[in-house]
Amino acid sequence: MTVKVDHLGPLEQTALLTEYARALDSRAADPILADPLSDEVVSKIDFDFTRLGVTPSVMRLVALRAKMLDERIRRFVLDNPHSTVVDLGAGLNSMIHRVDPPPTVNWYSVDLPAVIDVREALLPEHRCSRVVAASLTEPGWADPIPADRPTMVVADGLVAFLTEPSIIAIVRGAVGHFPEGILAFNDYGPVSRLNRIAGRIATRGANSPHQQWNFAGFKDARYPETWDARLRLAEEASVMHRPETAAFPLSLRLASRLSRRIPSIARKARILQYRY
């Protein structure tokens, strides 16, 4: 039995691209993330994934940033066995199954209602799993989530699609609701208006995330500290500096080598963590 996704809007369909990228990585002879569940999920969706134009570079970048976020969540859960993990814009990501936290952890996947329906239809159950079907841009999305434990708030692939005022409201909503914890997300450094327009033109008529790109990003990893006074930068890590870049396609491997000397390249694929 397959699940239809034609009813999903362009923003919701971005969840297909990242899941497909992880599925392709899992099929590779030398996977970086090695998430066979992503391939199982993709095989149950009635959709022409080749339309998404996922290049080998995108596949590897998506897989490696997921691996880096997984590692950080595992560490948080190890340090805080009685805690909450909140995955913002969770899409179809099987992060909870990869991390497989102990039963003392409550894990909330938040996404738009239509995406949560597809997620519930496709992902196997996990004893820690709860979902919140809500828009993060509406106040009150965090209300169903108990605020009684240290909380790791994660966003993989979300911020690029939001405006900065929306991101600030979401971050303040999280940091104001949960008592203490970590906020972790991936970003792409500064993305100029010209680059965003060029991306839209280059992918015109295609089902590309460039069409949904809204956020101009930032250079200084401390910049999000201005979003909420409680945020303190805890880590800035570049995907480009990881040993797994050996499995990248040639051009990206060269970029990764250059990124040691050219920080603007390293910033193009970051994992950022903030304490609050």
Ligand X SMILES: C[S@@+](CC[C@H](N)C(=O)[O-])C[C@H]1O[C@@H](n2cnc3c(N)ncnc32)[C@H](O)[C@@H]1O
Cα separation of 247 and 32, whole Å? 8
Under rule CB under 6 A, residue 158 binds ligand X: yes
129: left (phi over 0), alpha (psi -120 to 50) or beta: beta
Cα separation of 39 and 41, whole Å? 5
Nearer to ligand X by Cβ, of 135 and 264: the residue is 135
Under rule CB under 6 A, residue 239 binds ligand X: no
Judged by CB under 6 A, how many residues of this single chain contact ligand X? Answer: 21
Min dist. Cβ of residue 110 to ligand X (A): 6
Alpha helix segments (H runs only) across 148-249: 164-177, 193-202
What residues from 100 to 139 belong to the interface with ligand X (CB under 6 A)? 111-112, 115, 135-137
Residues 6+ apart with CB under 8 A from 86: 107, 108, 110, 142, 145, 151, 152, 153, 154, 174, 178
Nearer to ligand X by Cβ, of 95 and 255: the residue is 95
Among 89, 173, 189, 224, binds ligand X (CB under 6 A): 89
Min dist. Cβ of residue 24 to ligand X (A): 13
Min dist. Cβ of residue 155 to ligand X (A): 7
Under rule CB under 6 A, residue 90 binds ligand X: yes
Min dist. Cβ of residue 250 to ligand X (A): 26
CB 217 within 8 A of CB 187: yes
Min dist. Cβ of residue 253 to ligand X (A): 23
**Which residue from 45, 37, 38, 40 is spatially nearest to 22, judged by alpha carbons?**
38
Among 26, 84, 93, 273, binds ligand X (CB under 6 A): 93
Min dist. Cβ of residue 212 to ligand X (A): 8
Among 20, 76, 108, 161, binds ligand X (CB under 6 A): 161
- Cα distances (Å, whole numbers) of residue 119 to 5, 80, 111: 11, 27, 9
Under rule CB under 6 A, residue 174 binds ligand X: no
Residues 6+ apart with CB under 8 A from 6: 47
CA atoms within 13 A on the CB side of 30: 8
Among 60, 156, 256, 276, binds ligand X (CB under 6 A): 156
Cα separation of 276 and 273, whole Å? 10
Cα separation of 6 and 166, whole Å? 27
Among 5, 18, 61, 224, binds ligand X (CB under 6 A): 18
Under rule CB under 6 A, residue 12 binds ligand X: yes
Nearer to ligand X by Cβ, of 104 and 207: the residue is 207
Under rule CB under 6 A, residue 11 binds ligand X: yes
Binding site for ligand X (CB under 6 A): 11-12, 14-15, 18-19, 89-93, 111-112, 115, 135-137, 156-158, 161
